[in-house]
Amino acid sequence: MGWKLNIALRTKLLAPAATYATTLDGAIVATTTHPAIVMIDGPAAFRSAAVGTRPARAVVEAVLDSVPATADIAVFFDCPLIVPDERETVHVARAASPDAQTMYNAAALDSVRRGTMGAATWQGLFSTRKGKAAAYAALAAATRAYARQSHRGGGVAARAGIDTELPHRRFTVTDPHTAAVWGYPFDRPSEFAHLIETHPYGEAEAQLAMAITTVPQRPVLVVTIDTDILLQVAYSPMIQSDNVTIALARIWRNEDTHEIIRSAAAGRKRPARDKFTRQWELVSCAALTASKAPTPDSLFWLLAAGGVDYCGGLQGFGWTQDSSIARATSIVAHRPVIIYHRDSAAAAAININALGRYLVAHRKSRRRENDPAAFAAEIDNLIYCWRYYMWEGANRTPKAGPTLERIAPRYKSVKTVTQWIARAAADPIATRPLCSTSS
């Protein structure tokens, strides 16, 4: 998933917490008592290195060779068997896109699973469910092979000039088909196995977030290109992330002017005299939330600003991304729209009056009048994503996470969004419960 915040606003938001480096070697500092660990969102990180018919092993090496050579590594993969039911909407939308046209027969997909690309391309594989499943199987197998080679003195150990084996380095890989946790060396099972097995999330970034909760003292480097990791980890009040640094992207940066180019193609076209170099963008979670600690209310407004795969945000209904971000990051006290107490999560509620009043006061003067039913449905989607990133229902089986429910009121007499928010501001039923008793 990705956070659909415009690039300029996201860059401004991350600026106080972002640093840049040509390598990841100094991104986290390990100690004897607190060894470092690198957590990788497999579908996101490997996809950025998967081009053309590049072998799966080469894709894996491109990512894993870039991380600190002695850090433990945990790689998480999506498992379609237990992804949220709401993912079906995302699949349908993506299947309708022009890119989702490449189909491969069973023999070709089986060849990919066994590590031979043949005529298949990564772009084609990632455009369909079956192709994506084969791609993840190949990448997971290549990751396990990489782990075994590293402990024989090969892989990054050899390339880094390290002659001895790395017996202290541990690997965790989640299986994209069964969600089972593979740990290596075999005599040292993964420290995340029990947690992931008892919190059956099907999405890689959710597995990663759960793993972070088990290592509050260890320096953690997260490698991904999905920007919604900021919402799931840094901005979630349920995750202690001061020990986490996120390698969010590789960009082109001018050391003199600090200008950033995010497009790899555009960066390569700049002449050498412009002094642009390829660098990692590193975001410190501690620095990102230093001025204001994450709250349940701020998480709601961050989602409202841009949306993710399961929600679109409010910008399509007459509110700017800037206004929602300003509300989320403001240190001025506002009447909270989200009512939440950690010791009584089941009593969480949305204050419809506060929501309506704030939206009335901050809507753009020029806007379209959308269908109020669609607006109410979007509020439901925002609440679903809020509950997901508050990690509600983490123990629910067979699929962890909340369920999408109808929570926002449907006012029969209103014809426009303007009427809906005015009605909400004066609704005699001021609050609506958020958390389902079944999850």
Q: What is the pLDDT of residue 88?
A: 63
Which of 237 and 275 is assigned the larger pLDDT? Answer: 237
Q: What is the pLDDT of residue 102?
A: 64
236, 253, 288 - which closes a domain:
288
> ∠ CA(102), CA(311), CA(287), 5° rounding?
105
In a domain, 126, yes or no: yes
Q: What is the pLDDT of residue 94?
A: 54
User: Are 261 and 305 contained in the same domain?
Assistant: no
User: Are 63 and 196 contained in the same domain?
Assistant: yes
Q: What is the pLDDT of residue 341?
A: 84
Spatial separation of the C-alpha atoms in residues 198 and 213, rounded to whole Å: 14
In a domain, 72, yes or no: yes
Q: Which domain holds residue 201?
A: 7-288
In a domain, 38, yes or no: yes
| 4-12 contacts at long range (C-beta below 8 A, 24 or more positions apart) | 4/306, 4/307, 4/308, 4/312, 4/313, 5/227, 5/305, 5/306, 5/321, 5/325, 6/306, 6/321, 7/262, 9/305, 9/321, 9/322, 9/325, 10/227, 11/260
Per-residue confidence band for 438, with pLDDT thresholds at 50, 70 and 90: very low
User: Are 278 and 343 contained in the same domain?
Assistant: no
Residue with tokens 């969600």: 179
Q: Which of 66-70, 139-143, 331-335 has the highest mean pLDDT?
A: 139-143
Per-residue confidence band for 437, with pLDDT thresholds at 50, 70 and 90: very low
Pair of tokens at residue 251: 């960009």
In the predicted model, what is the mean pLDDT of the chain?
Answer: 89
Total domains, the chain: 2
User: Are 151 and 56 contained in the same domain?
Assistant: yes
In a domain, 51, yes or no: yes
Q: What is the pLDDT of residue 439?
A: 40
User: Are 350 and 222 contained in the same domain?
Assistant: no
237, 253, 288 - which closes a domain:
288
User: Are 375 and 259 contained in the same domain?
Assistant: no
Pair of tokens at residue 35: 């060894």
Q: What is the mean pLDDT of residues 329-347?
A: 84
Q: What is the mean pLDDT of residues 427-437?
A: 83
Q: What is the pLDDT of residue 436?
A: 53
User: Are 269 and 323 contained in the same domain?
Assistant: no
User: Of 60-69, 85-94, 110-119, which gets the smallest average pLDDT?
Assistant: 85-94
In a domain, 438, yes or no: no
pLDDT tens, residue by residue, 346-375: 689 999 999 999 999 999 988 888 899 999
Helix (H) or strand (E) holding 354: helix 352-362
In a domain, 2, yes or no: no
Q: What is the pLDDT of residue 207?
A: 97
Q: What is the mean pLDDT of residues 312-333?
A: 93
In a domain, 439, yes or no: no
User: Are 188 and 44 contained in the same domain?
Assistant: yes
User: Are 229 and 310 contained in the same domain?
Assistant: no
Residue with tokens 């990180």: 45
User: Of 17-21, 179-183, 363-367, which gets the smallest average pLDDT?
Assistant: 363-367
Q: What is the pLDDT of residue 131?
A: 94
Which of 297 and 98 is assigned the larger pLDDT? Answer: 297
User: Are 140 and 81 contained in the same domain?
Assistant: yes
Per-residue confidence band for 319, with pLDDT thresholds at 50, 70 and 90: very high
Decide if pLDDT at 276 tops 90: no
pLDDT tens, residue by residue, 127-156: 988 999 999 999 999 999 999 998 765 555
In a domain, 256, yes or no: yes
Decide if pLDDT at 164 tops 70: no
Q: What is the pLDDT of residue 331?
A: 84
User: Are 310 and 280 contained in the same domain?
Assistant: no
Q: What is the pLDDT of residue 332?
A: 83
- pTM value surpassing 0.85: yes
Decide if pLDDT at 378 tops 70: yes
Q: What is the pLDDT of residue 281?
A: 95
271, 288, 305 - which closes a domain:
288
Decide if pLDDT at 69 tops 90: no
Could you tell me which residues come within 8 angstroms of residue 92 by beta carbon, excluding any fewer than 6 positions away? none
Q: What is the pLDDT of residue 347?
A: 80
